[in-house]
Chains A and B, each alone.
Chain A
Amino acid sequence: MHGLTFDIAHMLAGSLVLVSFIELYQDRLSALLNTFALHAFVLAASVAWQAFVQDAPHLYITALIALVFKAIVIPVVLHRIVVQLGIHREIENVYGVGLAMLVGIGLVALSMVVMLRVTAEADPLAREDLAFALSVVLIGLLMMVTRRNAVSQVVGFMSLENGLVLAATGAKGMPLVVEISVAFSVLIAFIVIGIFLFRIRERFDTVDMQAMDKFRGEQR
Chain B
Amino acid sequence: MTFDALDGVLLIPAASACLLAALPGYRLTSRLNMLAAFLTFATACSLFVVEPTTGSYLLVDDLNKVFIVLTTFVSFTTSAFSASYIGHEIEIGRLKLGYVRFYHAMYQVLMFAMNLALVANNIGLMWVAIELATLTTVLMVGIYRTHEALEAAWKYFILGSVGIALALFGTILIYMAALPVIGEGPNAMVWTILVAHAARFDPDLLNVAFVFLLLGYGTKVGLAPLHAWLPDAHAEGPTPISAVLSGLLLNVALYALLRFKMLLALNPIAIAPGPLMVTMGLISAIFAAFMLYRRRDIKRMFAYSSIEHMGIIVFAFGVGGPLANFAGLLHMTMHSLTKSAIFFAVGHIAQVKGSQKISDLSGLTVTHPVLGWGLVLGVIAIAGLPPLGIFMSEFLVVSSAFARQPWLVLFLVCAILVALGGLFIKLNTIAFGEPRGSTAPSQASYVPMFAHLAIVFVAGIYLPPMLVAGFENVARLLG
Contact = CB atoms under 8 A, between A and B. Distances in A.
Nearest to B190: A175
Contacts of A199: 142, 145, 150
B185 A173 contact: yes
Given A164-B168, A217-B232, 7 more contacts: A171-B179, A172-B184, A175-B185, A178-B189, A196-B153, A203-B146, A218-B300
Chain A contact patch, size range: 35 or more
A185 interface: yes
Nearest to A176: B186
Interface stretch (A64-72, A94-102, A208-216): A208-216
Given A144-B158, A189-B135, A212-B151, A178 B202 contact: no
A200 B150 contact: yes
| Interface of A: prevailing SS | helix
B162 A141 contact: yes
A155 to B, nearest CB: 13
B205 A118 contact: yes
Contacts of B148: 215-217
Given A160-B162, A188-B135, A220-B296, A196 B157 contact: yes
Contact of B128 (A150, A168, A181): A181
Contacts of A130: 172-173, 176
A189 B161 contact: yes
19 contacts: A115-B208, A117-B204, A119-B205, A137-B166, A144-B158, A160-B165, A171-B176, A171-B179, A173-B185, A175-B186, A181-B124, A185-B164, A189-B135, A199-B145, A212-B147, A212-B150, A213-B151, A217-B297, A218-B297
A146 to B, nearest CB: 14
Interface string B156-189: 0110011011101101110110011001111011
B296 A178 contact: no
B127 to A, nearest CB: 8
Interface string A103-117: 000000000001101
A117 B208 CA distance: 11
Nearest to A212: B151
A192 interface: yes
Contacts of B185: 173, 175
A192 B179 contact: no
B303 to A, nearest CB: 10
Contact of B124 (A119, A175, A193, A212): A175
Contacts of A137: 165-166, 169
Contact of A122 (B135, B162, B179): B179
Contacts of A134: 169
Contact of A196 (B150, B162, B165): B150
Contacts of A215: 147-148, 151
B367 interface: no
Contacts of A182: 168
A164 B162 CA distance: 11
Interface of B: 122, 124-125, 127-128, 131, 135, 138-139, 142, 145-148, 150-154, 157-158, 161-162, 164-166, 168-169, 171-173, 175-176, 179-180, 183-186, 188-189, 202, 204-205, 207-208, 231-232, 235-236, 295-297, 300
Contacts of B205: 118-119, 122
Contacts of A193: 157
A185 B296 contact: no
A212 B183 CA distance: 49
A126 interface: yes
Given A121-B180, A217-B235, A171 B158 contact: no
A77 interface: no
A171 B162 contact: no
Given A122-B176, A167-B169, A175-B189, A218 B150 contact: no
Given A172-B179, A200-B154, A118 B169 contact: no
B158 A157 contact: yes
Nearest to A127: B176
A177 interface: yes
A6 interface: no
Contacts of B131: 181, 185
A157 B208 CA distance: 22
A164 B147 CA distance: 32
